[in-house]
């Protein structure tokens, strides 16, 4: 089945006009930024900004400052800022989708890439260009369809993204002698990155329909922005449009060190193209300690209901017991804790506020249970005494919204996360190439070396 929406003449009419705006702005931004990076490396490169302890070396490099991005920053107390703006500031500043309190994903893409709040005509250009780029080659659908139908949707998404590698504009330019150089490399990267963010929601909708809606596929509606079209393609009503817009923006970026963003950056640092890099990033997102936690939250909550509350209303005592049962069985409480955050995730709060202002949802049984867990779990985790952060993260609140709107097949939740995360990962590697970041290659040491340096009272830095 083909999901093509624009005829070739339409492509020709729109393409040259819209190509200039975002790409030209980005070109100016990258060129203006390069001298700052060059100076930092050449003149200030030996300034010490951190030191590494043995527990950081063994314990997942926690808190080691060794990555650079200007696209988002995560403060442990405050939470995420996208391009210097908090979540409420970001939502307030960006132009809104027609008839909505939420911005379009397209305007957020412009903002992530450039750091500028786009004017309405710039948003319109991105929305128009997005429609051209969102056309997914038929072979992607054929590839996914060839997989066992009981494959996890994240496997399908990762393979679907990887299948487009053969048409990578970055890889083609790299292998075309005379076309590619360090200064212009980002332009080819940008082409793939933009194609990828526009196509991934279409691929995600295809997977959802294939697996859970009896392969009833819907075509793209060219009148709709990305979030609204996603709602349309998965058979949702108009009320889901803001859910999609909010979800994709909130899940987009969480600075560079998280597994999906870091993997994408690492793989791309070998000059692997965006399809190779993001397919790898998605494979990291699929882990239960990372993106998969959002489906685990729903699983945990529904099992709790089934086990303890078939005939009775949930109580704080019952929730407390279920949390201890989980911890005593040696499992983590999904949706709680964080490697960096030390307070409630503002992405949790943004989604909670959405629930509280949505009639029906605010009185929903499952939402009330999630709210009760929010009241109880931090105290239980504090008493347990292991987690450094007892507060909820983004995943503790996202699934209940999907469930309420009828997206009850929770295997798809990490795919939704992956659609949003593509925005951050693709913006980041566009800038990685713009600033010519090096291949990533940290140094490893042996256990005996750690023991020797510890006995000597610490390693002497030469």
Give the shortest CB-189-to-ligand NMX separation in angstroms. 25
The residue (of 168 and 414) whose beta carbon lies closer to ligand MLT is 414
Residue 334 binds ligand NMX (CB under 6 A): yes
127 versus 350: smaller Cβ distance to ligand NMX: 350
Regarding 254 and contact with ligand MLT (CB under 6 A), the answer is yes
Question: Interface residues for ligand MLT in 322-361 (CB under 6 A)?
Answer: 339-340
Binding track, positions 70-109, relative to ligand NMX; x by CB under 6 A: ----------------------------------------
325 among known catalytic residues: no
Out of ligand MLT, ligand NMX, none, what residue 335 binds, judged by CB under 5 to 8 A for its kind, is ligand NMX
Select 140 or 416, whichever has its Cβ closest to ligand NMX: 416
**Per-residue three-class SS string for the chain:** CCCCCCCHHHHHHHHHHHHHHHHHHHHHHHHHHHHHHHHHHHCCCCCCCCCCCHHHHHCCCCCCCCCCCCCEEEECCCEEEECCECHHHHHHHCCECCCCCCECHHHHHHHHHHCCCCCHHHHHHHHHHHHHHCCCCHHHHHHHHCCCCCCCHHHHHHHHHHHHHHHCHHHHHHCCCCCCCCCCHHHHHHHHHHHHHHHHHHHHHHHHHHHHCCCCCCCCCCCCCHHHHHHHHCCCCHHHHHHHHHHHHHCCCCCCCCHHHHHHHHHHHCCCCHHHHHHHHHHHHCCCCCCCHHHHHHHHHHHHHHHHCCCCCCCHHHHHHHHHHHHHCCCCCCCECCCCCCCCCHHHHHHHHHHHHCCCCCCCHHHHHHHHHHHHHHHHHHHHCCCCCCCECCHHHHHHHHHHCCCCCHHHHHHHHHHHHHHHHHHHHHHHHHCCCCCCCCCCCCHHHHHHHHHCCCCCCC
Q: Which of residues 393-432 bind ligand MLT (CB under 6 A)?
A: 393-394
Active site residue 395: yes
Nearer Cβ to ligand MLT (258/344):
258
Q: Which stretch binds ligand NMX (CB under 6 A): 37-45, 143-151, 181-189, 330-338?
A: 330-338
The catalytically annotated residue of 125, 268, 338, 432 is 338
Q: Is-catalytic flag, 290?
A: yes
Binding site for ligand MLT (CB under 6 A): 254, 258, 290, 339-340, 393-394
Catalytically active residues, by annotation? 290, 338, 395
Binding site for ligand NMX (CB under 6 A): 289-291, 293, 327, 332-339, 386-389, 393-395
């Amino acid at each position: 089945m083909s999901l093509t929406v624009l005829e070739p003449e339409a492509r020709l009419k729109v393409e040259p006009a819209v190509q200039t705006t975002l790409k030209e702005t980005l070109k100016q931004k990258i060129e203006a930024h390069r001298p700052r990076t060059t100076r930092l490396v050449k003149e200030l490169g030996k300034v010490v900004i951190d030191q590494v302890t043995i527990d950081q070396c063994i314990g997942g490099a926690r808190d080691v400052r060794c990555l650079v991005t200007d696209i988002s920053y995560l403060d442990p107390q405050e939470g995420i800022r996208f391009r210097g703006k908090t979540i409420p500031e970001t939502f307030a500043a960006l132009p809104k989708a027609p008839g909505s309190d939420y911005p379009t994903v397209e305007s957020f893409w412009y903002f992530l890439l450039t750091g500028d709040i786009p004017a309405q005509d710039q948003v319109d250009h991105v929305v128009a260009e997005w429609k051209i780029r969102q056309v997914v080659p038929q072979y992607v659908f054929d590839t996914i369809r060839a997989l066992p139908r009981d494959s996890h949707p994240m496997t399908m998404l990762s393979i679907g993204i990887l299948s487009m590698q053969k048409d990578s504009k970055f890889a083609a330019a790299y292998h075309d002698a005379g076309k590619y150089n360090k200064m212009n490399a980002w332009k080819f990267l940008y082409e793939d990155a933009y194609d990828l963010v526009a196509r991934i929601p279409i691929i995600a909708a295809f997977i959802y329909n294939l697996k859970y809606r009896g392969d009833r596929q819907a075509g793209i509606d060219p009148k709709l922005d990305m979030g609204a079209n996603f709602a349309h393609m998965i058979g949702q009503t108009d009320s889901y449009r803001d859910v999609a817009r909010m979800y994709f923006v909130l899940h987009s970026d969480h600075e560079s060190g998280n597994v999906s963003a870091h993997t994408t950056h690492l793989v791309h640092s070998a000059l692997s193209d965006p399809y190779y890099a993001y397919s790898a990033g998605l494979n990291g997102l699929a882990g239960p300690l990372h993106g998969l936690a959002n489906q685990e939250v729903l699983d945990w909550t529904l099992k709790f209901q089934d086990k303890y509350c078939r005939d009775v209303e949930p109580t704080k005592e019952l929730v407390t017991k279920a949390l201890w049962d989980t911890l005593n069985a040696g499992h983590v409480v999904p949706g709680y804790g964080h490697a960096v955050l030390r307070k409630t995730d503002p992405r949790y709060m943004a989604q909670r506020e959405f629930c509280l202002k949505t009639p029906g949802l605010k009185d929903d049984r499952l939402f009330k249970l999630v709210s009760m867990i929010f009241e109880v779990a931090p105290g239980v985790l504090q008493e347990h005494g292991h987690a450094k952060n007892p507060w909820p993260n983004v995943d503790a609140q996202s699934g209940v919204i999907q469930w309420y709107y009828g997206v009850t097949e929770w295997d798809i939740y990490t795919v939704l996360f992956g659609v949003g995360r593509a925005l951050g990962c693709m913006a980041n590697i566009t800038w990685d190439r713009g600033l010519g970041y090096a291949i990533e290659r940290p140094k490893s040491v042996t256990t005996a070396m750690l023991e020797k340096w510890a006995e000597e009272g610490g390693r002497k830095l030469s």
